[in-house]
Amino acid sequence: MTGYLGSYATLGLLLVASVLIFVGAFTANRLLSPADPAEPAGKRATYESGVDPVGGDWAQMQIRYYVYAYLYVLFAVEAVFLFPWAVIFDRPGFGATTVVEMAIFVAVLALGILYAWRKKILDWT
Q: Which positions from 33 through 92 interact with other proteins, judged by CB under 8 A?
A: 33-34, 37, 40-53, 56-61, 63-91
Binding residues with other proteins: total (CB under 8 A)? 105
CB within 8 Å of 49: residues ≥ 6 apart: none
DSSP per-residue codes, 13-50:
HHHHHHHHHHHHHHHHHHHHS-SS----TTTTSPPSTT
Q: Which of residues 3-22 bind other proteins (CB under 8 A)?
A: 3-15, 17-18, 21-22
24 sits near other proteins (criterion: CB under 8 A): no
Q: Considering only CA atoms, which of 106, 119, 109, 120 is closest in space to residue 70?
A: 109
* 22 Cα distance to chain centroid: 22
Smallest separation, CB 38 to other proteins (Å): 9
Q: Which of residues 92-121 bind other proteins (CB under 8 A)?
A: 94-96, 98-106, 108-113, 115-121
Smallest separation, CB 91 to other proteins (Å): 8
